[in-house]
Amino acid sequence: MSEIAAKYDPSLTEDKWYSYWMENGYFHSKPDEREPYTIVIPPPNVTGVLHMGHMLNNTIQDVLVRRARMQGKNACWVPGTDHASIATEAKVVKKLADQGIKKWDLSREEFLEHAWEWTHKHGGIILEQLKKLGASCDWERTRFTMEDDLSDAVLDVFIDLHEKGLIYKGHRMVNWDPSALTAVSDEEVNHKEVQSKLYYVKYQVEGTDEWLTIATTRPETILGDTAICINPNDERFKHLHGKRAIVPMVKRSIPIILDEYVDMEFGTGCLKVTPAHDENDYNLGQKHDLETIDILNPNGTLSEAAQFYVGEDRFVVRKKIAKDLEAAGQIVKIEDYMNKVGYSERTDAVIEPRLSEQWFVSMKKLAEPALENVLNGNIQFHPNKFINTYKYWMENVRDWCISRQLWWGQRIPAWYDPKGNYVVAKTEEEAIKKFEIRNQKFEKGELRQDEDVVDTWFSSWLWPISVFDGFKDPNNRDINYYYPTNDLVTAPEILFFWVARMVMAGYEYRGELPFKNVYLTGIVRDKLRRKMSKSLGNSPDPLDLIAEYGADGVRVGMLLSSPAGNDLLFDEGLCLQGRNFNNKIWNSFRLIKGWEVDANLEQPAEAKIAIDWFNSRFSKELEVLKDHYDKFRLSDALMTTYKLVWDDFCSWYLEMVKPAYQQPIDKATLDATVEILEKLLKILHPFTPFITEEIWDNMGERGKEDRMIVAPWPKAESVDEKLLSGFENAEKVIMEVRRIRNEKQIAPKEKLNLLVKGDYSDAFNPVIRKLANLESIAETSEAPASASAFVVKGAEFYVPLAGLVDASEEKEKLEKELDYTKGFLASVEKKLSNERFVSGAPEQVIAIERNKKADAEAKIKALEEQLAAMA
């Protein structure tokens, strides 16, 4: 075996072990007799590159998958990417524009050739980057939402829901993205607080000298007004019932309508109604049979119907019309105004409400089982605080606009005859047959397919089923074995428009839940609590972090401060801490491997005690770990593992068992230590896969079946609570002796004596002697002269200092310590004599205070005896 490197170098091990795992098929899963453990990756956009959110999300998934694999489960983590209609099409359009080509100069087929070319070139980047993180995905199962089988699933579901009456075509108000030139769903709109202007505009009452004032933040839409609405109960405007008003500039005569929708206390009490450009106005228009005038083109410029400013951008017009209205004397005043404005999540363009013919999914029926099975606990949210948000969304669910005015995506399977009648079918041949049922005959080429594609989420809501070809063959071996999946790890911001919809699809098409647990991560923020983003320049490149700290270091850094559902305040110092932790593990391994063994040596008493203590400690913490994992407290699971390794193993156990400098170790202790290290590597592996595999390999000859990645998860053994309690006391004694050495400036090599007075177990004496460097531990009935004292669990301990310190200085220090301890005791007694405190505080808190009192009294007694002995 080659010499062990003095320093752990991730760059030499990570690619080596990842390639080994891949080549030997450790990540690949096939159905067998084992219990399956399945996670489907939230498919990143095919346009994406690795960012800090991906790092957090996929580290968590990998921790869960690696642990399940070690538990003997058939772990299957399915990777893949999302075709991301809007984002990808925008990238392709820009690439073409850079080449001097406009989208509309190409046929649909030509454009799609460019889109596929772009996807094949850039689409796998993020998945390759995940490999650097150590993601143990089953890469042989990689799926893409636009691949043939998954696209077929989308079309089959569209046709099925249409036949069930759950997909329909309607002329509705939608969220229109003037940049992407497509409708977007409510969930793809981000509402931001912005500083706007509120314009108060005068409308003349027709045939009179009277004027009405309305307030609007969007004066450009005045050109599309078709009514003014007042509350019928508003006494101020009773005389205007049945009258008409004149729209500024266009001089259109419009009715003054009556509706209790208008709040008499809000604004001026008069509301302009523009049915084409506001959802509430549209509803009023439908109710009162108003004319609808669409004054905007799809790209956000004004249309011919506006009559003014035709072809100019809406925001340019907003400023121009305000000036023109002011010049005409029809602006009463302009105020600063804070309001919420909707922005497209994909392009950040201001959304326009727009009347458009679109395809919709009726959601109410689909939402019922999806809500019920979260509320009844069949599907668990971690943390469960998100249930209320989910409940609100599902109880107020709106129909889902699924059509997008794009070319990249699954094309809607609707076929139109020359008169605009349509059928829904997968192919033109099937459409012709459906028209024949209506006694309409058409030849191939006479029908026109719908130009739109479905929303990207309409493919990803099928993901847990479609990745196992559950639509292609509903009874295939994979879907029956791996579905339902176990855990989903995702972000709260897509709880409704991905998680909820997957639950709907699961119950609609499999009759059961798609996953049992939903782990909701927080947002990765910087130390100033700002969301990490490229525009702020506060988001480090994950690959740079991996190069600097190693993948294991970054994984530990990410998880050290990422409780489920709470934002992660990322600090690069955490990755440094992660790297230091790995170095600590490596150095401990090197220490153990460097020991020479002497088969003839007997095992020292302190080593036997240490082994028994650590095994008990390990078993107890293993149960704590299980509880953290069961409750998806992965940050706590890491911290438990971290402390067990750093504090209990490195700082205490190794110090207890290591031989004296350049001395050999007995075989029994070495074997037990190696066994303990192996157990620790197993619980570390989900968090730090690379260094654990490297150390595991260096510990001895390993075959393919005996690699760290498939090593069995440790099992808890019996826990000796008495032994654990005894070590806690011994630890305090050792720390107190070391404190005295430090305070009295006694050299570490100088052996000391320890006297004990009172009830005390000597089980850990060999350990205390070694770690405190003591000549002897003996019982005493009285306080010795010139000694430092301390109290542990009621027992009094004395370290004789004769000849080691100045007696007068020591007496002065003891007197000061006695005064301080008496003051401390008085404060505790005051608290315990307070009836409100005693009656209101938990019993555990009162017990702690009583222990403080007993310890202070014992310490005072010991100090007084010491001082008496020095007199």
What string of DSSP letters covers 669-681?
HHHHHHHHHHHHH
At residue 496, φ and ψ (nearest 5 deg) are -85, -55
Tell me the CA distances in angstroms from 444 to 107, 269, 413, 419, 428, one per residue in order.
Answer: 20, 59, 15, 16, 7
User: Percentage of the chain with pLDDT > 70?
Assistant: 98
| Mean pLDDT in residue range 477-486 | 98
Q: For 327-377, what is each residue's pLDDT tens digit?
A: 999 999 999 998 899 999 878 899 999 888 899 999 999 999 999 999 999
| Mean pLDDT in residue range 377-392 | 95
Residue 233 pLDDT > 90, yes or no?
yes
d(CA 588, CA 187): 51
Strand partners, 561: none
d(CA 487, CA 102): 44
Among the listed ranges 129-143, 244-258, 428-442, 776-790, which one has the minimum average pLDDT value?
Answer: 776-790
DSSP for 390-411 reads HHHHHHT---EE-EES-SSSPB
Write a three-state SS string for 11-60: HHHHHHHHHHHHHCCCCCCCCCCCCEEEEECCCCECCCCCCHHHHHHHHH
CB 275 within 8 A of CB 290: yes
| Mean pLDDT in residue range 105-112 | 94
Cis peptide before 484 (omega within 30 of 0): yes
1 falls in which pLDDT band (50, 70, 90)? very low
Angle formed at CA 549 by CA 545 and CA 555, multiple of 5 degrees: 80
Q: For 803-859, what is each residue's pLDDT tens digit?
A: 776 667 777 777 888 889 889 889 888 888 888 888 888 888 888 888 888 888 888
For residue 270, the Cα-to-chain-centroid distance in whole angstroms is: 46
| Mean pLDDT in residue range 612-626 | 97
Angle formed at CA 383 by CA 382 and CA 387, multiple of 5 degrees: 95
At what angle are helices 667-684 and 605-630 packed, to 10 degrees?
10
pLDDT at residue number 564 = 56
Tell me the CA distances in angstroms from 632 to 639, 657, 832, one per residue in order.
Answer: 13, 35, 39
90: CB partners within 8 A, 6+ apart: 180, 346, 347
If one compares 538 and 59, the residue with the highest pLDDT of the two is 59
Tell me the CA distances in angstroms from 591 to 579, 649, 654, 676, one per residue in order.
Answer: 18, 12, 9, 14
| E strands in 660-704 | 665-666
Q: What tokens were used for 120?
A: 């094949």
pLDDT at residue number 431 = 97
Handedness of CA 271, 274, 278, 281 (dihedral sign): positive
Burial class (CB in 10 A: 0-12, 13-18, 19+), 471: buried
Q: What tokens were used for 797?
A: 């301990």
d(CA 4, CA 586): 10
Residue keyed to tokens 């490195």: 650
CB 234 within 8 A of CB 270: no
Q: For 684-731, what is each residue's pLDDT tens digit?
A: 999 999 999 999 999 988 988 999 999 999 999 999 999 999 999 999
d(CA 648, CA 176): 60
Q: What tokens were used for 365?
A: 């029926």
Residue 87 pLDDT > 90, yes or no?
no
pLDDT at residue number 436 = 95
Write the DSSP symbol of residue 349: P
Q: Closest Cα partner for 222 from 329, 307, 337? A: 307
831 C-beta neighbours (distance < 10 Å), count: 16
CB 635 within 8 A of CB 562: yes
132: CB partners within 8 A, 6+ apart: 14, 543, 546, 551
Report the predicted TM-score, pTM, of the whole model to 2 decimal places.
0.84
If one compares 863 and 38, the residue with the highest pLDDT of the two is 38
DSSP for 734-781 reads HHHHHHHHHHHT--TTS-EEEEEESS---TTHHHHHHHHTEEEEEE-S
| Residue type (1 letter), 814 | L
280: CB partners within 8 A, 6+ apart: 261
Angle formed at CA 792 by CA 788 and CA 794, multiple of 5 degrees: 105
pLDDT at residue number 708 = 97
At residue 789, φ and ψ (nearest 5 deg) are -120, 155
Q: Closest Cα partner for 158 from 331, 371, 332, 409? A: 409
Q: What tokens were used for 825?
A: 């005791």
State the Rg of the chain over Cα: 37
751: CB partners within 8 A, 6+ apart: 773, 774, 775
The two beta strands, 524-525 and 568-569, are: parallel
Tell me the CA distances in angstroms from 834 to 825, 841, 853, one per residue in order.
Answer: 14, 11, 14
580 falls in which pLDDT band (50, 70, 90)? very high
d(CA 765, CA 57): 48
Q: Is 512 helix (H, G, I), strand (E, B) or coil?
A: coil
At what angle are helices 364-375 and 501-509 packed, to 10 degrees?
100
If one compares 539 and 860, the residue with the highest pLDDT of the two is 860
Q: What tokens were used for 259?
A: 């509706």
812 C-beta neighbours (distance < 10 Å), count: 11
Q: Closest Cα partner for 412 from 761, 120, 155? A: 155
Q: What tokens were used for 760?
A: 């005390």
d(CA 200, CA 214): 6
> Backbone dihedral region of 556: left (phi > 0), alpha (psi from -120 to 50 degrees) or beta?
alpha
| Mean pLDDT in residue range 99-105 | 91
DSSP for 609-638 reads HHHHHHHHHHHHHHHHHHHHHHTT-HHHHH
d(CA 665, CA 679): 21
d(CA 37, CA 63): 13
Looking at every residue in the chain, the average pLDDT score rounds to 93
d(CA 754, CA 263): 85
DSSP for 453-484 reads EE-THHHHTTHHHHTTTTTT-TT-HHHHHH-S
d(CA 300, CA 351): 9
pLDDT at residue number 34 = 97
For residue 306, the Cα-to-chain-centroid distance in whole angstroms is: 47
Most confident of 260-264, 449-453, 834-838: 449-453
Q: Is 3 helix (H, G, I), strand (E, B) or coil?
A: coil
838: CB partners within 8 A, 6+ apart: 832, 846
Q: What tokens were used for 788?
A: 């430092």
